[in-house]
Amino acid sequence: MSITIKKLGGMLGAEIYDVDLSANLDKTQIADIRRALLDNLVIFFRDQNLTDEDLVRVGKYFGELAPLPPHRQNPGSQPEILVVEKKPNDKLNFGYEWHSDTTHLPIPPLGSILYALKVPRYGGDTMFANQYVAYETLSDSVKDTLDGMRAIHGNGRIMRTLEDKVSPVRGQEAVSAAWSTDTSSHPIVRTHPETGRKALYVNIAHTQSIEGMEINESQPLLQMLYEHSTQNHFTCRFQWEKGSVAFWDNRCCQHLALNDYPGEHRLMHRVQVKGTKPI
């Protein structure tokens, strides 16, 4: 059966219909979904009813799954699944700043698949931003400046806001030490390995500095890129429902989880598909 695609926004995003992800997909469906992802950067499915095993199977259609470090694994769930949860009394949420996932790793994921188990009565949307267009709308002089530049990415900034959630598993000092030394260097402009298009590849949550510069020297240029890359007209916004699934291409889009649902409960499960080294 062929899939039905409905565009969500002019810059990126599409909803996919006529697909039951709890059933085994055939090669044509898998190829069509992958094509839709490449064309739209982020795709969404509604009204799905998935077990953890289903979510892992769906992820594996698109490549090997990225493993979670032991202190991020949740007892009782599949080892590849990250539990993303904000409880009613929590003040901070996971992914509250614009970012591409885990760019502190030497080989960040191709993409992430997020499944909604419980959503707040209001709020909790996710924003996505097209990083192809972010690069293409830079001036030629800025493009020339960025050519060949690399940036250092780390995880200390984003993990500091979550230590209270993960420290009971290993202890706060151990978690802090593990993340504070976890850095990688990536090109500021990366070429997508499947489409060949160039995309801006820095984000405020993980990017620390420009390689070869001090942090304070790097910040003016990086701050300009952060602001440029997440302008409203580069974005789309997805309103979650229970059973919704989002699959985004981590190589060419950023995302942000809005923290506008105080006192509400939001629970998601996520898997990530392994990527290739950014070039």
Q: Do 94 and 86 contact (CB within 8 A), yes or no?
A: yes
The catalytic residue among 99, 153, 190, 192 is: 99
Residue type, 37: L
Question: How many of the other CB atoms lie within 10 Å of CB of 148?
Answer: 9
| 99 part of the active site | yes
Name 129's bridge partners: 235, 254
| 233 part of the active site | no
| Distant-in-sequence, close-in-space partners of 249: CB < 8 Å, separation ≥ 6 | 37, 38, 41, 42, 110, 111
The catalytic residue among 206, 251, 269, 270 is: 270
CA geometry: angle at 53 spanning 76 and 25, to 5°?
A: 170
The catalytic residue among 101, 249, 266, 269 is: 101
Q: Do 202 and 188 contact (CB within 8 A), yes or no?
A: yes
The catalytic residue among 34, 104, 255, 269 is: 255
Task: Report the C-alpha gap between 262 and 33 in whole angstroms.
Answer: 35
Give residue 212's region: left, alpha or beta (phi > 0; psi -120 to 50): left
| 270 part of the active site | yes
Tokens read off for 90: 């929590």
Closest CA to 106 of 252, 272, 279, 256: 279
Task: Tell me which residues are annotated as active site.
Answer: 99, 101, 255, 270
